[in-house]
Amino acid sequence: MTLEKATRRRGEELENAILDAVWDEISEKGYGGLTYEGVAARARTSRAVLYRRWPTRTDLVLATVARLGRRTPRVAPDTGSLREDMIELLRYSNSHRLGMWVVLSVQLAGFYAETGVTPADLRARLLGDRPSLVPEIVARAVERGEARPDLSERVLRVPFDLFRSEAILRLGPVPDEEILAIVDEVFLPLVRT
């Protein structure tokens, strides 16, 4: 009978296991249910390891959100049409990022109240230094003559602001007809030449 020595996780492998555990705990239990004990058990490590790296729950949440942003792939559609690019981008978010936005908006309500961190602060941490894809898509549309060049940042945020609002209100996927309405009835009339 041979006993295999357990390999101790360190560095990035351990950090990934911990931050995955934090996200899973928040997703299932909300910020109010996030405990060092729960994270340690889920990540199969000790509370001491967590406290050494992240002394507060706030630190745990901020590190988890930053990692989530780094790991979320960017999809920049380039169909040759502003309308189709925006629809594709919103559909991708609907199928791949929706759960993330719902968790950040709903499950972290207590976090915002307790820490003073805002959803906008978390969004900035999530995106890091990666710019939004909408200005890139619109810049291509401007070159093709499909959009005005003088659009404000507020106008460029409209499609995703409406999309997130719909997702939060539904606590689930945004129906395709709503995505089409966001693009056709609101965004395109705002940006067209």
CATH class of 11-69: mainly alpha
- Give the residue among 58, 33, 69 at the shortest CA–CA distance from 116: 58
CATH 1.10.357.10 residue ranges in the chain?
75-191
pLDDT per residue rounded down to tens, the chain (193 residues): 444 444 577 888 999 999 999 999 999 999 999 999 999 999 999 999 999 999 999 999 999 999 988 887 888 899 999 999 999 999 999 988 877 877 888 889 899 999 999 988 888 888 777 778 999 999 999 999 999 999 999 999 999 999 989 988 888 899 999 999 999 999 999 999 8
Distance, in Å, from the CA atom of 157 to the CA atom of 182, rounded to the nearest integer, reads 12
- Give the residue among 14, 9, 11, 116 at the shortest CA–CA distance from 61: 116
Residues 156-165: tens digit of each pLDDT = 999 999 998 9
Classify residue 11 as left (phi > 0), alpha (psi -120 to 50) or beta: left
- Give the residue among 115, 83, 36 at the shortest CA–CA distance from 180: 83
The model's pTM is 0.77
CATH architecture of the domain 75-191 equals Orthogonal Bundle (1.10)
